[in-house]
Amino acid sequence: MSDIKKFMYINTKAPYGTIYAWESLEVVLIGAAFEQEVSMAFIGDGVYQIAKGQDTSDLGVKNFSPTYSALGDYDVNKIYVEKESLEARGLTLDDLLGLKYEDEDDDWAEKDSIRVVSSTELAEILEQQEVVFSF
Amino acid sequence: MKFGIQINEGPYNHEASVSALNFVRAALDAGHEIFRVFFYHDGVNNGTRYTTPPQDDINIVNSWSELAEKHNLDLVVCVAAAQRRGIVDEGEQERNGKDGNNIAPGFRISGLGQLIEAGIQSDRLVVFGD
């Protein structure tokens, strides 16, 4: 049987305040070793997880946002951000981390991993998934 | 159908674990297979035998242990989440130099790969939590 499935990790919560975002990222990084077809989606307050310029020094907890930059090296390069969630929070693509990956099918050209999609488009993408984790 | 189950919340504080118990019982009654139940985040707190709820309340931990014994369920507690929250089996006790362990019967501690495998091997992965 084919063991390659379409995995989707949906992130819905703010990066700090609860541990969901950090422990979700741990699943994605471990899961990358299983060579599945992986996508991630950020919706609701989850969009703050990949916001630029995070500073947790006054919180006294670890700033794990630099770890998202490693996703490209793990072949996790389909990262969908819901447009409506960004707009509702006054954010744009420029406020997000510049996550990149090297496309092995295009002479290792550096490309953007993040795609801003409407909720309708995201629903279509979710429809195609086989395993959906929500955090 | 073969189900993988993920539980993200601890017992009592959240209904996720009891909902999952009910779902697993119903699935088994209907002739389905449970590939694995994976406990993550605070869900690992479902796996301590030190839980002692009042006598007139449901004992969620025992319910899992009994269901596991009856149906030979694979109840897996995530090791990284367990270490953060003090859920310990004999192996972890030895490795981390702790003075005891608290894993409940029928549960085992293992890695996140077990969750990914449940996603790959099951027809459906069902997540319980917010």
Compute how many other C-beta atoms are within 10 angstroms of the C-beta atom of residue A1. 5
Mean pLDDT by 10 residues, chain B (130 residues): 98 96 98 98 98 96 98 98 97 96 98 96 95
The answer to whether residue A53 scores a pLDDT higher than 90 is yes
Q: How far is B43 from chain A (nearest CA, A)?
A: 12
Compute how many other C-beta atoms are within 10 angstroms of the C-beta atom of residue B127. 19
Instruction: Domain count for chain B, please give it.
Output: 1
| CATH code, domain with B75 | 3.40.1260.10
Which residues in chain A have Cβ-Cβ distances shorter than 8 Å to B41?
A: 19-20, 23
Between CA B79 and CA B91 the distance in angstroms is 11
Return the percentage of chain B with pLDDT > 70, whole number.
100
Q: For residue B97, give its domain range.
A: 2-128
- Per the annotation, the verdict on B78 as an active-site residue is yes
With an 8 Å Cβ cutoff, are B116 and A27 in contact? Answer: yes
Q: How many CB pairs under 8 A join A and B?
A: 47
Which position has the higher pLDDT, B18 or A2? B18
Local confidence band at A29 (pLDDT 50, 70, 90 cut-offs): very high
Whether residue B8 lies within 8 A of chain A, CB to CB, comes out as yes
Between CA B102 and CA B48 the distance in angstroms is 5
With an 8 Å Cβ cutoff, are B112 and A30 in contact? Answer: yes
Q: What's the confidence (pLDDT) of residue A2? A: 60
Q: What's the confidence (pLDDT) of residue B130? A: 83
- Phi, psi for residue B121 in degrees, rounded to 5: -85, -25
Domains defined for chain A, CATH in brackets: 6-134 (3.40.1260.10)
The angle formed by the CA atoms of residues B67, B69 and B74, to the nearest 5 degrees, is 80
The ipTM estimated for the assembled molecules is: 0.88
Between CA A49 and CA B68 the distance in angstroms is 37
Which residues of A fall below an 8 Å CB-CB distance to B? 3, 5, 7, 19-20, 23, 26-27, 30-31, 33-34, 36, 131-135
Between CA B77 and CA B41 the distance in angstroms is 10
Return the percentage of chain A with pLDDT > 70, whole number.
99
Tell me the per-residue pLDDT of A109-121, one tens digit each, with 9 for 90 and over.
999 999 999 999 9
Pick the catalytic residue from B68, B78, B103, B118.
Answer: B78
Which residues in chain A have Cβ-Cβ distances shorter than 8 Å to B80?
A: 23, 26
**For A17, left (φ over 0), alpha (ψ -120 to 50), or beta?**
left
Q: What's the confidence (pLDDT) of residue A1? A: 47
Q: How high is the mean pLDDT of chain A?
A: 95
Query: Can you list the positions of beta strands (E) in A23-118?
Result: 37-42, 79-82, 100-103, 109-112, 114-117
